[in-house]
């Protein structure tokens, strides 16, 4: 009797283990993303940008591209991205009372942030019969940012060409429709002590060249 029970239990165990072993691994495969970037940034140095830029706003538009390696380990991913903006404005003078005077000297401002970061994607699986997958994510990044401020008739020492570093914290959601990937992201960049040495930023005591960013991405992933 015991031998019969043992045989039945052994057969049952084998019956269960065979289909389980035959199932494919649930671990997601390592993948890559390549995408274009369109983003708007509201600069933390609000007064400086509002008074210098022709638009009278502290917001700028940046475009660029990026790439990611996803599912490195579970939801871990790594990214690199670069964007840039070119905006026109005018040099200004601020008196002791805080009154701003436009000098009508054209100035071009170029901002180019390069970010290298990592994060965690909360991978989801599409429902049966569905092809859309929605994946929220969060992460942090190191930012190396170039800032140029030039005027056509200015001497070299009157122009600005500096590179500073800081960090970014971001979160968003990726919408995947087969291999097409669309991303919506919010980001906070901090580039401390990049301003405030001279000029209008010193007058307004604004030192951080970061800002809050709303980013849209569109690309492909495999």
The per-residue pLDDT string of the chain (222 residues; one tens digit each, 9 = 90 and over) reads 445 334 433 444 443 344 444 444 556 789 999 999 999 999 999 999 999 999 999 999 999 999 999 999 999 999 999 999 999 999 888 887 878 888 888 999 999 999 999 999 997 766 666 788 899 999 999 999 999 999 877 777 778 899 999 999 999 999 999 899 999 999 999 999 999 888 889 889 999 999 999 999 999 999
Residue recorded with tokens 């380990």: 73
Alpha-carbon torsion 146, 207, 52, 43, what sign?
Answer: positive
Q: What is the dihedral of CA 91, 96, 99, 100, to 10 degrees?
A: 0
Which string of b and e fits 85-98 if b means at least 16 CB within 10 Å? bebebebbebeeee
Structural domain boundaries enclosing 186: 28-221
3-state SS class at 57 = coil
For residue 4, being part of any structural domain is answered with: no
How many folded domains does the chain comprise?
Answer: 1
pLDDT at residue 157 in the model: 73
Residue recorded with tokens 């638009």: 55
For residue 19, being part of any structural domain is answered with: no
Residue 68 maps to which CATH number? 2.40.160.20
For residue 17, being part of any structural domain is answered with: no
pLDDT at residue 171 in the model: 98
For residue 9, being part of any structural domain is answered with: no
The closest alpha carbon to 191, from 166, 168, 161, belongs to: 166
For residue 149, being part of any structural domain is answered with: yes
DSSP 4-41: HHHHHHHHHHHHHHHHHHHSPP-SPPPEEEEEEEEEEE
For residue 16, being part of any structural domain is answered with: no
pLDDT at residue 28 in the model: 75
pLDDT at residue 197 in the model: 86
Non-local (6+) Cβ contacts of 78 within 8 A are: 68, 69, 72, 117, 118
For residue 15, being part of any structural domain is answered with: no
């Amino acid at each position: 009797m015991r031998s019969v029970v043992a045989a039945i239990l052994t057969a049952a165990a084998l019956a269960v283990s065979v289909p389980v072993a035959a199932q494919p691994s649930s671990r997601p495969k390592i993948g890559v993303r390549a995408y274009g970037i369109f983003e708007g940034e509201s600069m933390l140095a609000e007064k400086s940008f509002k008074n210098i830029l022709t638009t009278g706003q502290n917001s700028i538009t940046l475009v660029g591209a990026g790439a990611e390696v996803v599912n490195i380990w579970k939801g871990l991913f790594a990214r690199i991205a670069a964007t840039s903006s070119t905006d026109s404005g005018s040099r200004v003078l601020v008196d002791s009372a805080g009154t701003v005077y436009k000098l009508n000297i054209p100035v071009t401002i170029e901002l180019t942030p390069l970010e290298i970061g990592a994060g965690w994607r909360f991978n989801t699986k599409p429902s049966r019969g569905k092809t859309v997958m929605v994946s929220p994510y969060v992460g942090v990044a190191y930012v190396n940012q170039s800032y140029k401020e030039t005027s056509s008739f200015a001497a070299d020492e009157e122009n600005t060409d500096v590179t500073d570093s800081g960090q970014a914290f971001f979160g968003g959601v990726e919408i995947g429709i087969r291999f097409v990937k669309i991303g919506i992201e919010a980001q906070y960049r901090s580039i401390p002590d990049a301003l405030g040495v001279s000029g209008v930023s010193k007058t307004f005591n604004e030192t951080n060249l970061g800002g809050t960013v709303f980013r849209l991405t569109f690309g492909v992933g495999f």
